[in-house]
Amino acid sequence: MKFGKEFMSQMVSEWQEAYIDYAYLKTILQDIQSSRKTSDSNVQTKPSFARNLSRRYHREATFSENHDIVVNTVTRELETVYETAFLKAGEAGGDSEVAFFRTLDREFNKVNSFYRFKVEEARNEALALSKQMDALIAFRVRVKEKDPPPSNSVSVDVNALAYEIGSSSKSKEHIVTLRDLMRNDEAAKESILERIRLNKTRENPLSAIKNILKVSKKEELSFTKENLKRVEEGLQVAFIEFYQKLGHLKNYSFLNTLAISKIMKKYDKVARRHAAKLYMEMVDSSYLTSSDEVQQLMQRVESTLTEHFCNSNRSQGMKLLRPKVNKERHRITFSTGFFFGCAVSLIVALVLIVHARNILGTQGQRTYMETMFPLYRFFGFVVLHTIMYAASIYFWRRYRVNYSFIFGFKKGTELGYRHVLLLSFGLGTLSLCAVLLNLDMEMNSQTKEYNSFTELIPLFLLVLVIAITLCPFNILYRSSRFFFLAVLFRCIAAPFYTVSLPDFFLADQLTSQVQALRSIEFYICYYGFGDFRQRRRNTCRSNNVFTTVYFIVAVIPYWLRFLQCIRRIIEEKDLHHGYNAIKYLLTIVAACFRTAYTLNRGSTAWNIAAWVVSGVATFYATYWDIVVDWGLLQRGCKNVFLRDKLLVPHKLVYYVAMVLNVLLRLVWLQTVLNLKFGSLHGETIIALLACLEIIRRGIWNFFRLENEHLNNVGKFRAFKSVPLPFNYQEDRNQDN
């Protein structure tokens, strides 16, 4: 791999603007090379005597002292910057070389300044963690005093130590000194404990209400083992995150130094100069390369974590500190391909069986579409959604969108697109097997019932999927499953929890799965009332509760997003979230009117109302998708109707995505127009429209996270902030 590509691949993507612009410097070198070729061609036309004289002068200059550049150190606004003077600007191609060094100086000063700023941040964070460790040690001592060990207590050890000291000629003085030290130590610990409070890092509905009512969330100190364990876990996570930040800083220094070394070697080769050595001496003496503060901080973190959290077991401590990488395994690729092949084979088999038996022409076909099809299409919706999510992951990785950081996944546990496809095709294979087993279209002529066991297959499959999702054992990506369940719980419990990006991102996914939620409702009704024995849905259709819930299910996802927006308004005092809440409120009203019109066909009033409200909601939501969520259609940017920064190099992709978003937003038109598509059953049309909405959401996912990533890049935000367990009195005074 060429260095330029390796340089890009090892960047912290959110800091990419702060790295040396290696690619641009290479383009300047190409200009220098072109100028050199032109100059050499002119030299070729000189007489041989002049040409030999020129070669002799060049050969003598090679062995003479290097005077191509002079690097000056200048202090500006209390900051040291470096300026390079190119001494041979009058030679052929000199203008390009002057531009090269001017650009190189600007880039190097940018890198040096950024590194100094980040090291200063790290230094402040190290001081905060040091104070947290002081509080933890004092907290540990108090917990042990409340629950002393059964033997070898502290008092016995102190007495023994005092006895040993007392055996010398100055025993009394030593004992007094020891006692004084113990008193001072105890006083220091008591002073620390008096100045700290325990932060409540675990949210619950009660803490949310207290937050809304401006009631303090700080806990009084309670010296229990449970609190000690919680504090230790929180501080351990903070140290690990801090260590990884330091690792990125160290790599930042190394990569940029290496990039400068590479580009200077290329410059010497292209321009036939000897400037690299002098310039690299300046780089080596700069703060970027000479400062060892980051290395010292890393060593301090290693020793602290090893001593206080790993019982002085260094190998265990380093295992915690090293970043965990989710390796791509061949068996994942093989299993994904295997299940994909099985799914394709089952689809082909299903089509052939339907055609061979002429099932579509039987009397039970309509009954099947109204009963069994709504049960199985739920799995189809889930499979399609996960496939779209896998596609998003693939393109996020390709265009270096840091989705793992944005979602807050635990390092080393994030799923790649192959893992998600494996789950998708595995579920698809199971669902298709169930469909084939449950393809009987006719009931038993004697018992007038369907086979009860086969009729229960969809329910068994649904229970299996739920059981795997809730399984507590460490199988099938437990960390990801638990993360999903935790976020889902926070979505359902809105607005009792602070809303983070994973929360509203998942809630947005649910808004595109209304038909899947209605399928779950049908599961409950179909099996709860026993209609599965006769394969009918008469009870569900005639039940007023079912009809009412049918309305509510369509509203629930949008209502959850509305509540999340309200919570963010209260916390962040930003009207931007209020405008977002209006979008979901309009969508709720539109969904209700369209559902009411569906159930009251022929009503002109419901038709007009559905048209008007849906049109307004669609326009508002489309504008929000493209302008706010995707950050496109910006004025005055260099990319027409887009934005200044784009990750996908082909602009056509963005224009196509905007057009598709508008078109797929209009799928609700079928609801009010009641269009017929040949011999397609109504349930099939509903399923197809739901699939189009899932595809729209999949497209939205990529550009939504791309915009979020670019916002993080603009703010150089590459690490999550870990809440610290203790809060000092002076910190509270500063906050107030």
Q: Would you list the DSSP string of 193-241? A: HHTEEE---S--HHHHHHHHTT---PBPP---HHHHHHHHHHHHHHHHH
- Confidence at residue 407, expressed as pLDDT on a 0 to 100 scale: 92
142, 136 in Cβ contact below 8 A?
A: no
Instruction: Please say if the pLDDT value at position 284 is more than 80.
Output: yes
pLDDT higher than 60, residue 164: no
Q: What is the pLDDT of residues 673-720, one digit of tens each?
A: 776 776 778 888 899 999 999 999 999 999 999 999 998 877 767 777
Number of compact structural domains in the chain:
2
Amino acid in position 185: D
| Listed residue (226, 224, 292, 281) closest to 257, CA to CA | 281
CB 593 within 8 A of CB 606: yes
* 291-308 average pLDDT score: 92
Q: What is the pLDDT of residues 33-49, one digit of tens each?
A: 887 777 666 555 444 44
Instruction: Give rounded-to-5 percent helix, strand, coil for the chain.
Output: 75, 5, 25
Domain membership of residue 181 (yes or no) is no
Q: Tell me, yes or no, whether 411 and 558 share the same domain.
A: yes
Mean pLDDT value of segment 261-276: 89
Same domain, 271 and 352: no
| 156 vs 130 pLDDT, higher one | 130
144's tokens: 């042990």
Residue 412 and residue 473 in one domain? yes
Whether 318 and 334 map to the same domain: the answer is no
Select, from the ranges 54-63, 198-207, 386-395, the one with the highest average predicted confidence (pLDDT).
Answer: 386-395
CA 228 to chain centre: 30
Greater confidence, 590 or 449? 590
Statement: residue 295 has pLDDT above 50: yes
Rounded to whole angstroms, how far apart are CA atoms 466 and 485?
11
What's the count of helices (H) and strands (E) in the chain, helices before strands?
29, 4
Mean pLDDT of 178-201: 66
Higher pLDDT residue, 332 or 205?
Answer: 332
- Give the pair of three-digit tokens for residue 134: 């002081």
- Interior/surface letters 385-417, b for 16+ CB within 10 angstroms, e for the rest: bbbbbbbbbbbbeeebbbbbbbbebeeeebbbb
Helix (H) or strand (E) holding 526: helix 514-528
pLDDT confidence of residue 172 = 46
Residues of the chain with pLDDT > 90, as a percent, come to: 44
Q: Cis check for the bond before 323: say yes or no (omega within 30 of 0).
A: no
Closest CA to 104 of 23, 170, 20: 20
Q: Which of 76-90, 427-441, 642-656 has the highest mean pLDDT?
A: 642-656
Same domain? 405 vs 304: no
Both tokens of residue 384? 């399609």
Helix, strand or coil for residue 70? strand
Whether 158 is in a domain gets the answer no
Residues β-bridged to residue 219 = 198
Rounded Cα distance, 523 and 212, in Å: 38
Tokens of 61: 């200059």
Inter-residue contact 536 to 530 (CB < 8 Å): no
pTM for the predicted model, two decimal places: 0.84
pLDDT higher than threshold 80 for residue 167 = no
Compare 233 and 44 and report the one with higher pLDDT. 233
259-292 b/e with 16+ CB inside 10 Å = b? Answer: bbebbbebbbebbebbbbebbbebbeebebbeee
Answer whether 693's CB lies under 8 Å from 670's CB. Answer: no
Q: Please, what's the largest Cα pairwise distance for the chain? A: 115
Of 1, 16, 14, whose CA–CA distance to 255 is shortest?
Answer: 16
The Cα 505–Cα 483 span in angstroms is 13
More confident residue, 280 or 76: 280
What's the confidence (pLDDT) of residue 62? Answer: 41
For 476: left if phi > 0, alpha if psi spans -120 to 50, otherwise beta; the answer is: left
Assigned token pair, 190: 């008591």
| Per-residue pLDDT at 277 exceeds 60 | yes
540 and 662 co-located in one domain? yes
CB 399 within 8 Å of CB 497:
no
* Separation between Cα atoms, residue 546 and residue 543, nearest integer Å: 5
Q: Do 651 and 506 reside in the same domain of the chain?
A: yes
Q: For residue 297, what are the contacts with CB-CB under 8 A and spacing of at least 6?
A: 122, 123, 126, 246
> Is 459 found in the same domain as 415?
yes
Contact residues for 440 (Cβ-Cβ < 8 A; gap 6+): 450, 451, 454
Is residue 690 included in any domain, yes or no? yes
Q: What is the mean pLDDT of the chain?
A: 83
pLDDT exceeds cutoff 70 at 57: no
Name the more confident of 603 and 297.
297
Asked which of 164-168, 490-494, 497-501 is least confident by mean pLDDT, the reply is: 164-168
Phi, then psi, of 626 in degrees rounded to 5: -80, -45
Asked if pLDDT for residue 391 goes beyond 70, the answer is yes
Residues 305, 367 within the same domain? no
CA distance 282 to 82: 9
pLDDT band for 95, please (50, 70, 90 cuts): confident
Q: How confident is the model at residue 186 (pLDDT cuts 50, 70, 90)?
A: low
Rounded to an integer, the average pLDDT of 582-602 is: 85
- 592: pLDDT strictly greater than 80: yes
The residue among 299, 323, 347 that closes a domain is: 323
Domain C-terminal end among 282, 301, 323: 323
Q: What is the mean pLDDT of residues 552-570?
A: 93
Q: Nearest 5°: CA angle at 692, between 691 and 693?
A: 90
Burial class (CB in 10 A: 0-12, 13-18, 19+), 135: buried
| Same domain assignment for residues 303 and 450 | no
Query: What pLDDT was estimated at residue 159?
Result: 40
Considering Cα of 126, then 127, then 132, then 138, what sign does the dihedral take? positive
Q: Is residue 55 predicted with pLDDT exceeding 90?
A: no
* Mean pLDDT, residues 429-442: 86
Asked if residue 601 and residue 545 are part of one domain, the reply reads yes
Q: Do both 317 and 340 map to the same domain? A: no
Q: How far apart are CA 252 and CA 263, in angstroms?
A: 16
Owning domain of residue 7: 1-151+206-323
Confidence of residue 364 (pLDDT cuts 50, 70, 90): confident
Lowest-confidence pick of 174-188, 201-215, 243-257: 174-188
Specify if 184 maps to a domain.
no
End-to-end CA separation in angstroms for the chain: 53
Tokens representing residue 360 in the block: 């579509």
- The Cα–Cα gap between 570 and 574 comes to 8
Q: Give me the residues paired with residue 71 across strands.
A: 84
Going by the DSSP 8-state scheme, the letter that residue 531 receives in this structure is G
Domain membership flag for residue 188: no
Q: How many CB atoms lie within 10 A of CB 23?
A: 10
| 8 Å CB contact between 658 and 648 | no
Is residue 96 included in any domain, yes or no? yes
Query: Which residues lie across from 86 on neighbouring strands?
Result: 69
**Looking at the domain assignment, is residue 720 inside a domain?**
no
* pLDDT of the residue at 145: 78
44-72 burial code (b ≥16 CB/10 A, e <16)? eeeeeeeeeeeeeeeeebeeeeeebbebe
More confident residue, 328 or 183: 328
| Domain final position from 268, 294, 323 | 323
pLDDT at 168 exceeding the cut of 80: no
Q: Which residue has the higher pLDDT, 530 or 711?
A: 711
Q: Is residue 361 part of a domain?
A: yes
Q: In percent, how much of the chain has pLDDT > 70?
A: 83
